[in-house]
Structure formats: structure tokens, C-alpha cells
């Protein structure tokens, strides 16, 4: 029995893979060129296999169309279930049919390829009729509870025609400027206008009513409304204005995410590494193609300057996905010689469902850094962004889908720590990878221990940057600036304790202050701005509190040391780049992670002394050394207790190099080949070639 079920499961997975390859082929080359040979090549199988599963090309295409219609049907059904009244059910139909995942260039072109054939093919016509009838009857049924039957019929036909018309216009013109949000708003307005004259409109009473479409959780390939409508507002830290309202995922949504991830992982994990790599490469390409739009969104959500987000945040995420896409096909076990009558081998297998929990400083980059190795290894991921920066992870989910990542393989749940805890305690989740504070890391590890999950922890730091007397001081100042003021200092690996040899301390300070005084604090969307806003008012107050404490403890402010409130900046959370001198190692500004634009400069005399002081911290994330004496550079780096180090540079994090901390700065590594170890299990297999001898 179990064997039959396994065979059925495998066949099911295979069938879905072939359908996925057909969808990709239709999107890339269109109906006429989508031959069995072309699809077989993409799927890496022989064309003969299609006969086994689908009969012929028409059978394959019909199955593909059915699968797309079923997905849309499921998405509409979930929204209909969540709706609270008749008006909510009308909205559910509109939202499902014009959801971002249906209303994108790629998916739309596949639908259009089919609709073009409907006139000539009875098989396609049948599927299309079912789809059309279902949309009409859902609308009609809901409308009949608001208006008389005759009128309900007319409004239902007009609404479905408007949905089809908007979709067709965008698809034919290739103009997706008219994006999903606007298309839904147009149809919603139309419906309200029909219902309003008699005061019958009772708009959006559904749970998704106050939340902004496109910002919520993304489960199993679709945006999902929460069962209990609790929301939070995400704000632009540069202006204090609301960017939108986001629904919190509770227990029910996490369960749905787990179910979706389980189904998605079965398909994804059964693909070859090469197949996964091909799809992930498309994710990277789409991220790059949408760099400007995503960078802008990231700047709005985080307050970081557009001059940073447009060259780092999205692109570093894309680089990471590209890198692991390349590695996916190379994942192998090993053969072990055990003599003439036996051998062993190892299989590198995915863990299953993994959770990613992100911090707010690099929201999209963190989502990519976690998703890339997880997905390359065949896992499914449920990602929870920090509640302060919920926007771009949802975009990543949309892009994954557009690139052909199967539904359920990358899910996003929105919310606070409580939502994170639902993930870290969930028995079906095999691993959790967190980027966050040390305290959060300890809680996550304790929660994960209940079900013995694997954990990767990327935590905080208070890293040393050491400038020896023979260093190129201009380069060393550049390193100190990069290591303290990039992203307004909200970078975990920052070298906030800058140890400068006493012989060059004066010159170093002069050069440093001259350059800091020219830094431009301003509107993050202004390309000239170099220092943007801090993430929130609460965080700004924490940073300003540290600055006051530094002054009170006797450190001297060499530059900065205050909030910036010039003109419109008064509405946001800006702090001037700040340099403290005359610091001592026991001050709070030298001991604690501030996570803001605050640098402490500390003189030193001897190599041994500075190594001891640099290591005298519970953290161990990063460290840097500036010296022209490379022997000294390597010698000192070898003695520093840090996971990520630089010689004559600071804060560069190429994807090829593992990244992570020692001591209380974390466990495990992201990036580089090392990450593969954290997202796979090794299975050892002993193969006997001889007789089985037993002493019984």
C-alpha cells in the first residue's frame, strides 16, 4: 500500500514538473513554438514521457490549462471563505482574478496563449467555460443578496467583462503600468458605483478591508487575507507618513503557510539541482530588471539613501540567488570505498521546510540571502520580515512566482515576534535562520530546541577596526566611514570601535572630521543624499540616548552628536554622523551595539594591547585591520575573535565568502559554499555486495 502511495506521489510530482515546464515554455516562446521537444528539453526528460502522462501535446496543454484554472479557483475559494459578507465575496472574486500573481506579464501571456486557441479547440473551450461560469456564478450569487436578481445578473456580467477587459488590455499592450492594485481599484469603484445609488454598497467589509492589497502575507503563491483582521501600519521613517496597513499572520495563516510549503517542497525537492538552478537564475534576472522599483520601495520602507539601495540592496540579493543557482547543480554526496564487498555513499538531502526571520536593516537582501541557499538545496521557505519593513519580501515572493518557482516554495508571513515564534516552535519546520539581536537569537534558539531544529543565527556586533601607524590613512578613513555611516550605521558588521595607533591619531582625526563634515544627510530619495533616516522614532531615541550617555561618561563629540531637523527632515528620524574621541573601553558607547551613525575612536600603542582590547567583548561578528605590513595584517587577523574580517578594507561582503559571527554574534554561516551545510542533511548509505554473515 505504502509503496503504491509513494509511486502515485512521485508520478504526481513528475506530472506537476512537466506542467510547470510547459507554462515556462509558453511564457518564453508562445503557443506555436511550444512543442513537446521544447518542453522536454526544459524539463530534462525524454519526449516519450509525455505520452505516458498526457497522451499527446493537446493532452499536455489541456492539463496545463486545467492546472492554471485550478490554481485561480483555489485562490478565489480561499478569499471567498475569508469574506464576511456579500460585498466581501464580490471583492474576493475581483481580488483573486486580478491578483498580482495573475496580473503579471509572464502569467498573462500564458493565459492569452490559451485563450487564443479556445475558438478552435473544444478541449480548451470546456476548461474556459468552467472558469467563466464559476466567476459569473460567484459574482451573481453574492450580488443577489444585495440587489434584485435581474440587476445582479447585469452587474455580474459587466464586472466579469471589466475584469477580462482590463487583463486583456494590459496583456496585449504589454503595459503592466496598469498594475494589479490599480486594476482592482478600477473594478472595485465600478461595483461600488453600481451598488451605491440605492445605498446598497457596503464596501470592503471583508477581513482584508483596511489592509493594503499587495502588502500582506504571501502563502502558496497567492496573497492571503488573515482570518482575524489585525493589522499594523508601516511607515516611511523619512517623513513619518504611513506607507500602508499590513495584516498580521496568526496561527491559521502560519498553518496555511506550512501546508503550502509542504506541498511546494514535494515538487521543488523532486526537481534536479539543474532545474532548480535554472528557475532561480530567472529570479535573479527579474530582481535586476526591477532594481529601480525595488530600490525605491526599500528606501521608502527603511529610510536608506537611494544611492545605496539602487546599487547594493537588490543587486546583492540577486547576486546571492545567482550564486546559489549555480551551486544547485553541483550538490553531491560522495562515494566511500569499503573494500571488495561493500561500498558506501552519501546523499545530500534537503531539510524540508525552513523558516527565515529577518531584521529591518537590509530587508530584501536578508530575504534573498536566506532563500537562495535554502531553495537551491531543495527546501521550501517561510519568511517573516521584520514588522518595520514588510514590503519587499512580498515583492520577492511575486518575483519567485513569476520566474516559475512552484507555489508554496517561498512564502511570506507578516507580523511581529509572535508570528516569528509560531514559526520557531512549529514541529513541521526543520530549521530556522534568524537575523536579529543577540537577545532574540537566544529566545529563538530556546524555542527551536523544543523540536530540535537546526538554527543559523546572524546576530549583533561591536566590531573593532584597527589602524596601524603604517596604514594608508586616506584608505583607513574610507574604511572607517564605510564601516560606520553606511545605512546610517544600521549595519551589524560595523567597525564602531576604531582603534588608531597613537602616532597617527591626530592626522587620522583631522582627515576623518574633514570628510564627515561634507557628508550629506537628507531625503533618502534624493540621489545626492549619503545618510538617510533611522528606521523608527523609537530607534532614533535609543541612538540619541547613547550619544547623551557618551557625553555624560566623558567622551568628546568631535563632530555630529545631534538629531537633524532641517526643514522637512524634522518629520523624519535623522541623526547626524557622529564621531566620539577621548573614549575609554568601559563606556557604554564602546561596549554596546548602538546600530546608528556613532563611531568611537580609541588610541592604542602596542599590537598585543590592541588585540586584547579588540577581543574584550562578548561579540565576535567582524573585524578589520589597516596596515601596509601584510605579515602583520595576517598575524593580527588570525588572533582576532571574529567570523568575518577585512585587511585594508571594511564591510565588503561578496557572496562567495561565508558571512557570520563567533561568540555571541551568531552560529552558522550565510553565503559561500559553507551555507550548503546549513540547509542539507547527509544521508549515509552502506551497500553490501557480498553475503550477510551472522553468528546465529
Q: Which residues bind ligand NDP (CB under 6 A)?
A: 357-361, 384, 386-387, 416-417, 420-421, 424, 434-437, 440, 443-444, 458-461, 492, 593, 595, 621, 661, 666
| Smallest distance, ligand NDP to C-beta of residue 259, A | 21
Residue 645, H or E segment: strand 644-647
Based on CB atoms, which residue is closest to ligand NDP, 98 or 386? 386
Residue 400 C-beta: closest distance to ligand NDP, Å? 20
Give the single-character DSSP code of 345: E
- Shortest CB 364 distance to ligand NDP, Å: 13
User: What beta strand segments (E) does 369-505 contain?
Assistant: 380-384, 410-412, 431-435, 454-458, 464-467, 497-501
- Measured CA to CA, the distance from residue 98 to residue 187 in angstroms comes to 9
Nearer to ligand NDP, 444 or 625 (CB): 444
What grid cell was written down for 446? 530556546
Q: Which is nearer to ligand NDP, 273 or 303 (CB)?
A: 303
Q: Give the separation between CA 576 and CA 566, rounded to whole angstroms.
A: 11
Q: Nearer to ligand NDP by C-beta: 360 or 546?
A: 360
CB of 154 to ligand NDP, least distance (A): 46
Grid coordinates given for 56:
499527446
Cα–Cα dist 26/61, whole Å:
10
Neighbours of 537 (CB within 10 A): 14
With beta carbons less than 8 A apart as the criterion, state whether 400 and 381 touch: no
Instruction: Give how far the C-alpha of residue 407 lies from the chain's centroid of Cα atoms, to the nearest Å.
Output: 15
| 126 or 421: CB nearest ligand NDP | 421
Q: Which is nearer to ligand NDP, 277 or 415 (CB)?
A: 415
Name the minimum Å distance from CB 626 to ligand NDP.
22
Looking at the Cβ atoms of 461 and 603, the one nearer to ligand NDP is 461
Distances, alpha carbon 29 to alpha carbons 42, 49, 485, in Å: 12, 21, 47
Closer of 101 and 593 to ligand NDP (Cβ): 593
Judge residue 57's burial from the number of C-beta atoms within 10 Å of its C-beta, 0-12 exposed, 13-18 middle, 19 or more buried.
middle
Query: In angstroms, rounded to a whole number, what is the distance separating the alpha carbons of residues 247 and 219?
Result: 13
The nearest distance, CB 670 to ligand NDP, in angstroms, is 7
Task: Output the smallest distance, CB 235 to ligand NDP, in A.
Answer: 14
Least distance (Å) between residue 558 CB and ligand NDP: 24
C-alpha distances in angstroms, 587 versus 214, 602, 628?
Answer: 45, 11, 31
Phi, psi of 234 (to 5 degrees): -100, 135
Active site positions, annotated: 370, 458, 492, 670
In the complex, the smallest distance separating the C-beta of residue 421 from ligand NDP, rounded to whole angstroms, is 4
- Cβ neighbors of 489 (< 8 A, separation 6 or more) are 496, 543, 577, 594, 595, 596, 597, 598
DSSP assignment of 55-95, as one string?
Answer: SSHHHHHHHHHHHHHHHHHHHHHHHHHH--SHHHHHHHHHH
**What is the distance between the alpha carbons of residues 264 and 286, in angstroms, rounded to a whole number?**
21
Nearest CA among 343, 192, 354 for reference residue 269: 354
In the complex, which residue's CB is closest to ligand NDP? 420
Indicate the residue among 323 and 595 with the shorter CB distance to ligand NDP: 595
- Taking the complex as a whole, the smallest distance from the CB of residue 373 to ligand NDP amounts, in Å, to 14
Residue 380, sorted as left (phi over 0), alpha (psi -120 to 50) or beta, turns out to be beta
* Min dist. Cβ of residue 386 to ligand NDP (A): 4
CB 101 within 8 A of CB 398: yes
C-alpha cell read off for 163: 475584469
3-state secondary structure of 603: strand
Residue with smaller CB distance to ligand NDP, 404 or 661: 661
Q: What DSSP assignment string belongs to 530-596? A: SB---S-HHHHHHHHHHHHHHHHTT-EEEE--SEE-SGGGGGS-EE--EEEES--TTSHHHHS---S
Q: Which three cell numbers stand for residue 499?
A: 582603534
Looking at the Cβ atoms of 424 and 530, the one nearer to ligand NDP is 424
Distance CA 354, CA 192 (A): 42
The number of beta carbons lying within 10 Å of the beta carbon of residue 151 is 16
Amino acid at each position: 500500500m505504502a509503496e503504491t502511495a509513494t509511486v502515485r506521489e512521485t508520478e504526481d510530482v513528475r506530472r506537476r514538473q512537466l506542467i510547470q515546464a510547459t507554462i515556462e515554455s509558453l511564457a518564453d516562446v508562445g503557443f506555436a513554438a511550444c512543442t513537446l521537444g521544447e518542453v522536454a528539453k526544459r524539463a530534462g526528460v525524454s519526449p516519450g514521457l509525455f505520452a505516458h502522462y498526457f497522451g499527446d501535446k493537446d493532452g499536455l496543454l489541456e492539463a496545463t490549462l486545467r492546472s492554471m484554472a485550478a490554481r485561480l479557483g483555489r485562490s478565489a475559494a480561499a478569499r471567498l471563505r475569508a469574506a464576511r459578507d456579500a460585498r466581501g465575496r464580490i471583492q474576493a472574486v475581483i481580488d483573486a482574478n486580478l491578483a498580482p500573481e495573475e496580473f503579471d506579464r509572464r502569467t498573462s501571456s500564458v493565459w492569452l496563449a490559451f485563450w487564443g486557441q479556445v475558438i478552435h479547440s473544444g478541449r480548451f473551450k470546456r476548461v474556459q467555460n468552467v472558469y467563466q461560469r464559476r466567476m459569473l456564478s460567484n459574482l451573481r450569487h453574492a450580488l443577489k443578496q444585495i440587489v434584485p436578481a435581474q440587476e445582479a445578473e447585469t452587474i455580474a456580467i459587466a464586472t466579469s467583462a471589466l475584469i477580462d477587459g482590463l487583463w486583456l488590455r494590459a496583456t496585449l499592450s504589454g503595459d503592466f503600468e496598469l498594475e494589479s492594485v490599480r486594476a482592482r481599484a478600477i473594478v472595485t469603484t465600478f461595483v461600488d458605483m453600481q451598488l451605491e445609488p440605492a445605498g446598497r454598497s457596503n464596501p470592503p467589509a471583508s477581513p482584508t478591508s483596511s489592509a493594503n492589497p499587495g502588502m500582506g502575507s504571501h502563502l502558496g503563491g497567492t496573497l492571503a487575507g488573515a482570518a482575524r483582521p489585525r493589522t499594523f501600519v508601516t511607515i516611511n521613517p523619512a517623513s513619518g507618513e504611513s506607507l500602508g496597513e499590513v495584516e498580521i499572520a496568526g496561527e491559521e495563516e502560519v498553518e496555511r503557510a506550512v501546508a503550502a510549503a509542504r506541498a511546494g517542497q514535494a515538487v521543488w525537492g523532486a526537481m534536479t539541482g539543474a532545474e532548480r538552478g535554472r528557475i532561480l537564475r530567472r529570479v535573479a534576472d527579474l530582481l535586476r530588471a526591477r532594481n529601480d522599483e525595488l530600490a525605491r520601495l526599500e528606501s521608502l520602507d527603511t529610510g536608506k539613501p537611494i544611492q545605496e539601495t539602487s546599487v547594493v540592496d537588490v543587486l546583492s540579493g540577486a547576486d546571492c540567488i545567482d550564486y546559489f543557482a549555480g551551486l544547485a547543480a553541483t550538490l553531491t554526496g560522495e562515494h566511500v570505498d569499503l573494500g571488495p564487498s561493500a561500498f558506501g555513499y552519501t546523499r545530500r538531502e534537503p531539510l524540508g521546510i525552513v523558516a527565515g526571520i529577518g531584521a529591518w536593516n537590509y530587508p530584501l537582501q536578508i530575504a534573498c540571502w536566506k532563500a537562495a541557499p535554502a531553495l537551491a538545496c531543495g527546501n521550501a521557505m517561510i519568511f517573516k520580515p521584520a514588522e518595520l519593513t514588510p514590503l519587499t519580501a512580498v515583492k520577492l515572493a511575486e518575483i519567485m512566482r513569476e520566474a516559475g518557482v512552484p507555489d508554496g516554495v517561498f512564502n511570506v508571513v507578516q507580523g511581529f515576534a509572535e508570528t516569528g515564534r509560531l514559526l520557531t516552535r512549529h514541529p513541521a519546520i526543520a530549521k530556522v535562520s534568524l537575523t536579529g539581536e543577540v537577545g532574540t537569537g537566544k529566545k529563538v534558539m530556546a524555542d527551536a530546541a523544543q523540536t530540535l531544529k537546526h538554527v543559523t543565527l546572524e546576530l549583533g556586533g561591536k566590531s573593532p577596526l584597527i589602524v596601524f601607524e603604517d596604514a594608508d590613512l586616506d584608505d583607513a578613513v574610507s574604511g572607517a566611514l564605510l564601516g560606520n555611516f553606511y545605512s546610517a550605521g544600521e549595519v551589524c558588521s560595523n567597525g564602531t570601535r576604531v582603534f588608531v595607533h597613537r602616532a597617527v591619531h591626530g592626522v587620522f582625526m583631522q582627515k576623518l572630521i574633514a570628510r564627515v563634515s561634507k557628508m550629506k544627510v537628507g531625503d533618502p530619495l534624493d540621489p545626492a543624499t549619503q545618510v538617510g533616516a533611522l528606521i523608527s522614532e523609537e530607534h532614533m531615541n535609543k541612538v540619541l540616548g547613547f550619544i547623551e550617555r557618551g557625553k555624560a561618561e566623558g567622551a568628546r563629540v568631535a563632530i555630529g552628536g545631534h538629531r537633524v531637523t532641517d526643514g522637512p527632515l524634522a518629520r523624519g528620524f535623522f541623526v547626524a554622523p557622529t564621531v566620539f574621541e577621548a573614549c575609554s573601553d568601559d563606556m557604554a558607547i564602546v561596549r554596546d551595539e548602538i546600530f546608528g551613525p556613532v563611531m568611537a575612536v580609541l588610541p592604542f600603542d602596542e599590537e598585543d594591547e590592541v588585540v586584547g582590547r579588540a577581543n574584550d567583548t562578548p561579540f565576535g561578528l567582524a573585524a578589520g585591520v589597516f596596515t601596509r605590513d601584510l605579515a602583520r595584517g595576517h598575524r593580527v587577523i588570525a588572533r582576532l575573535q571574529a567570523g568575518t574580517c577585512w585587511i585594508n578594507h571594511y564591510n565588503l561582503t561578496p557572496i562567495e565568502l561565508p558571512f557570520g559571527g563567533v561568540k555571541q554574534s551568531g552560529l552558522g554561516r550565510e553565503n559561500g559554499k559553507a551555507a550548503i551545510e546549513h540547509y542539507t542533511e547527509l544521508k549515509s548509505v552502506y551497500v553490501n555486495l557480498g553475503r550477510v554473515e551472522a553468528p546465529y
